[in-house]
Amino acid sequence: MDLTSRFDTALVYASAQHRAQRRKGTDIPYVAHLLAVAGLALEHGATEDEAIAALLHDVIEDQGVRFEELEKLFGRAVAEIVRGCSDTDVTPKPPWRERKEQYIKHVRESSSSVRLVSMCDKLHNARAILSDLRVHGDALWSRFTGGRAGSLWYYRALVETYGAAGITSTTRPLLDEFDRTVSEIEENSDGILVGREEQ
């Protein structure tokens, strides 16, 4: 598949929207995450709409971009995927646990396009957590609203939800790697049994 100028436009738009944002607890420009998610999506059979949505997957949730603007700029299919990957479009955001429970429920019932972009997003996040856990230990959990117990619950619940929702031959490797990465996070986190009991 050849990417068109629509992808170029989305890349510039995503970079502009997230220009001042950094990855949690780091100086890494947020666009690095967006590029990684789009790259994973393309490596696992994404269409151009899905790849564009991967670049834009956080603009509703983090930047307050409206669905209607995305639809006008990039089409309804892209806007629907981005909305499906957002756990809220409300400001202020609802409580963390409530948002995550709703996201899990929604992903289970969502389109294959939403699940593909969502899995790429969560896999890249999990890789970053595992990498930082090896360097900083359990101190890294202070970056996250859900803390250690909540974050471990959320990522394990996502592994189970993606699997239950249905996996294709192209997304199976994504889920397998996500499961392995989450398992390594669990194994490298002190107090994992406590974390599971606190669900």
Instruction: Judge whether 97 and 150 are in contact, CB under 8 Å.
Output: yes
Residues whose CB falls within 8 Å of the CB of residue 116, separated by 6 or more in sequence, listed in order: 41, 44, 45, 46, 50, 171, 174
- CA 58 – CA 65 distance, rounded (Å): 9
Task: Find the catalytic residue in 8, 43, 62, 98.
Answer: 62
**DSSP conformational letter for 93:** P
* Nearest alpha carbon to residue 110 among 86, 132, 91, 137: 86
Task: Find the catalytic residue in 50, 61, 132, 179.
Answer: 61
186 included as an active-site residue: no
190 included as an active-site residue: no
- Helix axes 67-74 and 5-17, enclosed angle (nearest 10): 150
89 token code pair: 């479009």
The catalytic site residues sit at: 61-62
